[in-house]
Homo-oligomer: A and B are copies of this chain.
């Protein structure tokens, strides 16, 4: 099932209030790590799967990318992306990620930020990304960490006075659909184990260049951000098309 939660007004409004929606890439815990895995984008042909508000597409353009295609299932997100993107050089396409149909060798890099945990057919996406990438090119993606997606509650376990006791894990090996309550009710995500993420990428023909579990900078003192040292929130993988 391809849920298009971002086109629902209530969800869209909630999402628009997130720090990362207002302040962009730097407000995401994982951005520094993700950015560090990107090659020089100058003159590159870039595909962004699940481009949302277009922050990554605009970043690619700032870095001198030759062409940029941003794909998203949500018209509302793309509308916002188009409005906030001045000038040319970025093509926004409405399409579910698993429905992309690009030609072989059409891109020099494919990126995807926090979108693929909404996609059931991760293996299909990997095969399609492999197909449209040039040889020796990178696929860099971030997802919610399997430790974060295992339980639908996606929340800490609290003590009697409301303190965060620890992060609870359960049903880890049972992959599949999770009906979560992120921002609003009934947000469908797909839980996969870390092994499945890694092995699916490898089976699609890539080799793993780097795997990251981003954490806050050690100098951070904000208690909420410090809690991100307690559990892995995101998983980032950089893989190379081996051909």
Contact in complex: B157, A231 (CB < 8 Å): no
Contact in complex: B211, A173 (CB < 8 Å): no
Contact in complex: B166, A157 (CB < 8 Å): yes
Q: Bits for A182-202, please: 1 = Cβ < 8 Å to B, else 0.
A: 000000000001110011001
Instruction: Give min CB distance, A229 to chain B, whole Å.
Output: 4
Q: A147-B147, A208-B207 are in contact. Are A230 and B198 (CB under 8 A)?
A: no
**Residues of chain A from 164 to 189 with CB closer than 8 A to chain B in the complex:** 165-174
Report the bound CA distance from A167 to B150 in whole Å.
Answer: 11
Contact in complex: B208, A173 (CB < 8 Å): no
What residues of chain B lie closer than 8 Å to A169, measured between beta carbons?
147, 166-169, 230-231
Contact in complex: A231, B167 (CB < 8 Å): no
Contact in complex: B213, A209 (CB < 8 Å): no
Contact in complex: A209, B202 (CB < 8 Å): yes
Contact in complex: B171, A229 (CB < 8 Å): yes
Q: A207-B208, A208-B208 are in contact. Are A213 and B157 (CB under 8 A)?
A: no
User: Quick one: closest B residue to A171, CB to CB?
Assistant: B230
What residues of chain B lie closer than 8 Å to A170, measured between beta carbons?
166-167, 230-231
Copies in the complex: 2
Judge if A28 is at the interface, Cβ distance under 8 Å.
no
Contact in complex: A173, B207 (CB < 8 Å): no
Report the bound CA distance from A132 to B228 in whole Å.
Answer: 39
Judge if A151 is at the interface, Cβ distance under 8 Å.
yes
Residues of A near any B CB (own CB < 8 A): 147, 151, 157, 165-174, 193-195, 198-199, 202, 207-213, 215, 228-232
Known contacts A147-B147, A166-B169, A167-B170; can you find 16 more A-B pairs with CB under 8 A?
Answer: A147-B172, A151-B166, A157-B168, A170-B230, A172-B213, A172-B230, A173-B213, A173-B215, A174-B229, A193-B213, A193-B232, A194-B194, A194-B211, A195-B211, A198-B208, A207-B208
